[in-house]
Structure 1
Amino acid sequence: MLEFPSYKRVGFYLSSFIFLLIVTIYMFYSISENKPLWLKPSISPYDKFRNAAVVSENLLCSEIGRNIMFEGGNSIDAAVAIQICIGVTNFHSSGIGGGFFMVFYEQKTKKCITINAREAAPLQSSKTMYINETENSLIGWKSIGVPGEIHGLWTAYKKYGSKKVSWSKLLEPSINLAYNGFPISQSLETFIEIRSKQLENFPELKEYLTNPITKQYYKDGDIMKRPSLAKTLQELAYSNDPTYLFYKGKIGRIISRDITQNGGYITLQDLSEYFSIVDDDPILVDSLGNNLTMCGCKPPSGFIVTQSIISIINEKYKRKKKIDIDNPKLWHRIIETQKFAYAQRTKLGDMNFVETAEFIMNYMKSDKFIKKVLNDLPEKAQNLKYYTNDLYFDPLDNGTSHLSVIDNEGNAVSLTSTINREFGSLCLSKELGIVWNDQMDDFSSPNYSNSFGYPPSPSNFILPKKRPMSSMSPMIIYNNFTGKVRLVIGASGGSYIISSVAQTTIRNLIFNQTIKEAVDAPRFHNQFIPSKTKVEYGVPDSITTILQVKNHQTLMKIPKLKNHVAALEKTEDGFIYGATDPRLTIHNYPTGF
């Protein structure tokens, strides 16, 4: 007997058919479009502010800077307060035992200036001083360069501070943190672990990093007090001339005693002859168009390399109405542009010592260089000689910390600081509470080839008072017509700084992504030597496969680069938007009002 289906069964079959049809159509279009899936934006905080904003690598320090501006201070005042705080809480990467590069922009005058407070080689230095003692440039008292932070911060405050907030008031919050204690971050715990074996040879710093309650190294969330540093900061805070105190007076004498008694090179004469360099004629580049000017520090800062990557990619894509970030060719061009730019880095150096540095700097910001690179961009990766005939290497710089500030008058500061490697030289002045840099390792030494057999860069050889080459690239981009700041950006992470600042800026200003999207996005890093490109997880496999197969790029996928971008953008709606980098393993957020 023939049995007809019920209405319910017909409805079930019909519903199933429609569902399968929808799924099939969806899959068809998904496959036909073949749209790569990028890493989704992180849950790291993203906020906007009407008047002023701060982003740094420690939320306590950012809040201190915010409060300074709320009480009438300007961006310089805030930056000084934040930087002193960073040296208290993030002393694995920054502090008054190190140095910095700063960019300052004043809206009412449309004037941009820079301050070079980079560490300098002692008077006893020579280019051959580490040839038979390479370890001495890495750790220990002989690796310390003359510190520049206090001189640079005091110079910035005296010349460009608001005059509404006293010097002592800028230091007091950090003094309180050092006296009363601050929470140890996950980053600090990690870097203690990284250096734990070497700390066995540096008992004073080992004891300093040991929690007196648990008798173990400090862990994430532990409270650490630094009373000796608090006392040093207090003396500096209430001195009429903190640079005299630090470089020629009581503190300077203790510094030179500690270093020389332990076999180091820095004497009181080294300290007394140090000065930070204020440059009111910095690098200004207008290649972005739309009345935008990029401002940054001259060499030995790495800014000239950073801006060249941005300028070249902008020139290639500025006429495109829509830029397809899913196109592997775009990322191939960015990788190749990095190679051309980084290849020039080894020819740069301290402009007071390297005759050709100014010529190379001017060449790298010229239309001639942009056009040459664009004309020479290959369809496939080439051997290193294709990018330059001069195959040298510079030592990898490390560490660093960055802060960005915009105040309620539209002024801005971008500041990158460092003591080089984690905890610098591993040397501690116990009486002062200062952890010293190992900046001498950022110089090159003759007769010492790297693991790839390439000779060292002669332009970065050691000379007395010379400052080593750096990747630090603090940058401010402003509208030279309206005078308004557009982007304040910089990064930590040594050699990764240049590629990360460049790509974040490219994504924000050329690809029109929000600053959060730009900071979060996975990055490509190629520093020419080695020629392998590091690629962060989150770049679609369809893109990396084509880069390898079609463009012959050698890629190394990694979870994340060890660097952090700190950026603020000011958009046409008048708001300041800030983003913290999810690569930073601490709870952090932008702040302002």
Structure 2
Amino acid sequence: MTLRKAALVALLAPVLPLGLLAAPAGAARPVEPPRAPVATGYGGAVSSVDPYATRIGVDVLRAGGNAVDAAVATAAALGVTEPYSAGIGGGGFFVYYDARTKRVLTIDGRETAPLAMGPNAFVENGTAIPFADAVSSGLSVGVPGTPATWEEALRRWGTLDLRRALAPAERLAERGFVVDETFRQQTADNAARFRDFTSTRELFLPGGQPPAVGSVFVNEDLAETYDQLGRRGTDIFYRGAIGRELVATAQQPPVAPGVTRNVRRGLITMDDLRDYDAPLRRPTQVSYRGLDVYSMAPPSSGGSTVGEALNILERFPLSTVSETQYQHLFAEASALSFADRNRYVGDAEYVDVPLRQLLSDGFAGERACRVDPAAALPKPLAPGVPDGSYAGCGATSAVGAPDTKGMSTTHLTTADKWGNVVSYTLTIEQTGGSGIVVPGRGFLLNNELTDFNFTDTQGGNDPNLPAPGKRPRSSMAPTIVLQDGKPLLAVGSPGGATIITTVLAVLTNRLDRGQPLVDAIAAPRQSQRNTAAIQAEPAFPRAGLQALGHSFTSTAEIGAATGVELLPDGRVQAAAETSRRGGGSAMVVSSSPVAARR
């Protein structure tokens, strides 16, 4: 055991199980923990897409950590095993229920545009540059918010410092994990662009090929980066050596010799990093059938769009209608809410977002008035006018272009024995982000700035054009539902703009249709985002909706949700996907109430 590792074990011995940390690297071949999509028990719970990450989070809870400690430790582990979806090169939104104060609080860890970025940053010769070109470039890299989010969450609400919270993930990166089919396939899908960057192909394409299923993937560079981040705090990222290397990589991407791809340089500077802040935001809140639903406010559109759709759907008896009618109403409410999202929602520090009106019952009544239970409305729909004066079906404004961007993200949920709950969505945007690994650091840079609209899509009223320091609009919707002031559910999902419809589906399947949480997550999905056709998974039933005038396009998977439910008998249930992304991982601290209290 190295001196550094011995010191690390000594530091963490009072906090985390020795079995997780003490064995020297290479002492035994890593074995993937078993996957289970649902677990019910006591003492707390963790749900994520990955069994290594979930186990680390549960071990933190077992050792006395709280839901915030477990969330940060789980997220750091996902940066190891899900590096194409999340990591310290990206950002996200952290939603937290504090059992002591009985409040829901949120941290905005969204990436920001460099100060040098203007509204035409993605326009050349009067035309928007190709989307794929923008993705695989330094130009798409926003100032990352994940390290600041972790430090802020731990400082405000955790019991661990950053060093101890990162230590299990550092150990995981150093020892390695067993490659599964999802990791191999995602690497293969990105292999062409990964080969274009020397640092990326060196890390993720050993021997020039994706790692084989069953092999062990080790990321020593990331282990060392986590060690430095833990020991020195986020200053090394936002003001120090890691930041300088990040800026140099974005400004001059490490393009391999002979590559013909037009890799544009980034605009990010050390001043942009030093100026970064992960502020607390007031969450969105709507009342739905007597429950309080909290989520993320702008710059995310997740909370406002899910909330508006719930307000519309509350006017219909979803628990008693047929499955076809439920799915029809779901699609229409989604389309109406997306029309309003696209027109009005952006970074509220740059545009006037009428959030209170978008989430008002009066506005929902006007929008619900337009729904015809017997026929699909022709899409795209016009946005409403949330002006505070509501009657009938209300006025509409001009139809804008839809937003159908997708992204690869990850979501985790945690709960502890004290009643604290976290719902946390984090991302680097596309699967593989920008495709650019910071040399010697082991993590990918985001391509989050492609979440901006490249040109005006709303007839002169686009709320989501780039601007210096602006945060691009997100669809992330980490959600916590309270019943009588106490947590009932926490849910969330990856999936770009489909996050909104996935979270909405899980909520309505569980709360209205009475499905167990794991079944609400597993149910075949549709996503109507104010487009001519509904996007749907192959198993989603179409005939009944087609008879009402809906049309469809197919996609293999939509989302990869996780959730936690606090049961009436005092138990907690974690739930994850049964098959999407190879199946998720749900664990609880103990199956015994006595053991959970120890």
> Aligned AA for 1:441?
T
For 1:516 and 1:545, locate their aligned partners in 2 and report how far apart those are by CA, in whole Å: 25
Residue of structure 2 equivalent to 1:441 = 450
1:446 Cα deviation from its structure 2 partner? 2.0
Contact kept in structure 2, 1:395 and 1:442, CA below 8 Å = no
In the alignment of these two chains, the number of paired residues is 522
Residue of structure 1 equivalent to 2:73 = 81
SS at match of 1:410: coil
Residue of structure 1 equivalent to 2:227 = 234
Superposed CA deviations along residues 448-482 of structure 1, whole A, max 9, x for unmatched, are x7xxxx87972100001101111100000112x3x
> Aligned AA for 2:230?
A
1:283 Cα deviation from its structure 2 partner? 1.4
Superposed CA deviations along residues 516-561 of structure 1, whole A, max 9, x for unmatched, are 1211111221111x32012333344xxx323212x11112355x42
1:217 Cα deviation from its structure 2 partner? 1.4
Contact kept in structure 2, 1:519 and 1:565, CA below 8 Å = yes
1:139 aligns with 2:132: no
Residue of structure 1 equivalent to 2:297 = 298
Residue 107 (structure 2) aligned to one of 99, 107, 115: 115
For 2:141 and 2:461, locate their aligned partners in 1 and report how far apart those are by CA, in whole Å: 21
Superposed CA deviations along residues 35-91 of structure 1, whole A, max 9, x for unmatched, are xxxxxxxx9632202220000111111111111111111111111101111111100
Contact kept in structure 2, 1:145 and 1:440, CA below 8 Å = yes
1:311 Cα deviation from its structure 2 partner? 2.8
Residue 193 (structure 1) aligned to one of 188, 192, 197: 188
Contact kept in structure 2, 1:314 and 1:506, CA below 8 Å = no
Q: Aligned runs of 1:337-348 on 2, under 5 Å?
A: 337-346=333-342, 347-348=344-345
Residue 391 (structure 1) aligned to one of 395, 400, 403: 400
Q: Aligned runs of 1:133-172 on 2, under 5 Å?
A: 133-134=129-130, 135-161=132-158, 163=159, 165-172=160-167
Point out where structure 2 has 5 or more consecutive residues left out of the alignment. Answer: 1-34, 254-264, 384-397, 590-598
> Aligned AA for 1:186?
E
Superposed CA deviations along residues 471-525 of structure 1, whole A, max 9, x for unmatched, are 100000112x3x3210000001112111111011001112221101211111221
SS at match of 2:463: helix
For 2:403 and 2:368, locate their aligned partners in 1 and report how far apart those are by CA, in whole Å: 25
> Aligned AA for 1:127?
P
Summarize the Cα distance change of 1:535–1:250 in structure 2 as closer, same or farther, 3 Å threshold.
closer
Summarize the Cα distance change of 1:148–1:456 in structure 2 as closer, same or farther, 3 Å threshold.
farther
1:545 aligns with 2:543: yes
Summarize the Cα distance change of 1:585–1:561 in structure 2 as closer, same or farther, 3 Å threshold.
closer
Residue of structure 1 equivalent to 2:525 = 523
For 1:130 and 1:443, locate their aligned partners in 2 and report how far apart those are by CA, in whole Å: 9
Q: Which has the higher helix share?
A: 1
Contact kept in structure 2, 1:445 and 1:456, CA below 8 Å = no
1:325 Cα deviation from its structure 2 partner? 4.0
1:386 Cα deviation from its structure 2 partner? 4.4
SS at match of 1:435: coil
For 2:535 and 2:380, locate their aligned partners in 1 and report how far apart those are by CA, in whole Å: 20
Residue of structure 1 equivalent to 2:567 = 571
> Aligned AA for 1:371?
G
Contact kept in structure 2, 1:182 and 1:224, CA below 8 Å = yes
Contact kept in structure 1, 2:221 and 2:442, CA below 8 Å = yes
For 1:409 and 1:525, locate their aligned partners in 2 and report how far apart those are by CA, in whole Å: 36
Q: Aligned runs of 1:262-273 on 2, under 5 Å?
A: 262=253, 263-273=265-275
SS at match of 2:562: strand
Q: Aligned runs of 1:403-414 on 2, under 5 Å?
A: 403-414=412-423
Summarize the Cα distance change of 1:573–1:419 in structure 2 as closer, same or farther, 3 Å threshold.
same
Residue 117 (structure 2) aligned to one of 125, 130, 133: 125
Greater Rg over alpha carbons, structure:
1
Residue of structure 2 equivalent to 1:247 = 238
For 1:216 and 1:384, locate their aligned partners in 2 and report how far apart those are by CA, in whole Å: 44
1:71 aligns with 2:63: yes
Contact kept in structure 2, 1:446 and 1:456, CA below 8 Å = no
> Aligned AA for 1:561?
E
Residue of structure 1 equivalent to 2:256 = none
For 2:381 and 2:74, locate their aligned partners in 1 and report how far apart those are by CA, in whole Å: 44
1:340 Cα deviation from its structure 2 partner? 0.3
For 1:545 and 1:141, locate their aligned partners in 2 and report how far apart those are by CA, in whole Å: 45
Residue of structure 1 equivalent to 2:17 = none
Contact kept in structure 2, 1:562 and 1:583, CA below 8 Å = no
Residue 476 (structure 1) aligned to one of 473, 480, 483: 480
Contact kept in structure 2, 1:398 and 1:494, CA below 8 Å = yes
Give the TM-score normalised by the residue count of structure 2: 0.84
Residue of structure 2 equivalent to 1:175 = 170
> Aligned AA for 1:247?
Y
Residue of structure 1 equivalent to 2:508 = 506
1:568 Cα deviation from its structure 2 partner? 1.1
> Aligned AA for 2:231?
Y
Superposed CA deviations along residues 278-332 of structure 1, whole A, max 9, x for unmatched, are 12x321222331xx211111112122101222232233127xxx52443x22221
1:585 aligns with 2:589: no
Summarize the Cα distance change of 1:57–1:234 in structure 2 as closer, same or farther, 3 Å threshold.
same
Contact kept in structure 2, 1:143 and 1:425, CA below 8 Å = yes
Contact kept in structure 1, 2:313 and 2:330, CA below 8 Å = yes
Residue 212 (structure 2) aligned to one of 219, 226, 232: 219
Contact kept in structure 1, 2:150 and 2:162, CA below 8 Å = no
Deviates more, 1:467-476 or 1:568-577: 568-577
Residue of structure 2 equivalent to 1:39 = none
For 2:554 and 2:251, locate their aligned partners in 1 and report how far apart those are by CA, in whole Å: 45
Residue of structure 1 equivalent to 2:329 = 333
> Aligned AA for 2:111?
E
Residue of structure 2 equivalent to 1:4 = none
Residue of structure 1 equivalent to 2:364 = 370
1:351 Cα deviation from its structure 2 partner? 0.5
1:129 Cα deviation from its structure 2 partner? 1.4
For 1:185 and 1:442, locate their aligned partners in 2 and report how far apart those are by CA, in whole Å: 29
SS at match of 1:231: helix
1:363 Cα deviation from its structure 2 partner? 1.9
Contact kept in structure 2, 1:394 and 1:443, CA below 8 Å = no
Contact kept in structure 1, 2:526 and 2:540, CA below 8 Å = no
Contact kept in structure 1, 2:560 and 2:581, CA below 8 Å = no
1:203 aligns with 2:198: yes
Deviates more, 1:102-111 or 1:378-387: 378-387
